Structure 1
Amino acid sequence: MLTSRTVAYLNVDVGVSGSGVDASATPQLDQLLKQASKKVQNPDNGTESLYDMWMASDNSLIGRLGGGGSDYSAFVQHIGIPSVDMAIGSGYAVYHSLYDDFTWMEKYGDPMFRRHVT
């Protein structure tokens, strides 16, 4: 049923971990990802797009979804559904730790939750 009804899978395991953009995808979604990011406002600079923020970051290339790194694995590797894994920032220091909670995010990660809205 999934193969006949699913257009794409969007994985946002670590939605916000800092500034910049980190994205990986299957190749057929590269252009869609770029075009969509041009229509979203940069949460840190209202005169730029998310695409501008992304291109200025160290992770300006779209990575490839390989291995078995996250929840997208079953969609990509077992049934061939085009997928994207993306986040604002990279290197989430408290991932799956005792501090991976709302309080940490509210105080340190994204105090105004602008990046989460993006």
Structure 2
Amino acid sequence: MSRYDWMSEALCTQTDPEIFFTGHYGLAERLCAACPVRQACEAQAETCERGLEQKYRHGFWGGKTPRGRAGTDITGFYDDRDARIRHLSTAGRSAQDIAADLNCSTRTVWRVLARTELEEAA
């Protein structure tokens, strides 16, 4: 038994695949809502797209748009990055050095640090 056997039950295999890649996802959303293997499809999308930015995700999978899927796993990335920014800042690193180390902008570093100050003050 293959880990892809679920795909034979997917409703999308019985329709025009274009509806899942046009950017107008109304029909795709209705099909996915009724699909018996939607959760397996969503898990497959997560596996295939893990770590990808939203701009590199395409199509409607598991009932979600590319933006919707990016929101499911990218949050952890930002949480980790923000924690590293705070840690490096408390270790005395400059915003420029932190930005260079984490491949982000100096503006991002300042935003994270400002948000941290606001949260601590509250």
TM-score bracket for this pair, using the shorter chain length: under 0.3
Structure ranking higher in strand proportion: 1
**What is the TM-score normalised by the length of structure 2?**
0.22
**What is the TM-score normalised by the length of structure 1?**
0.23
Larger radius of gyration: 2
Higher relative contact order (CA 8 A, sep 6+): 1
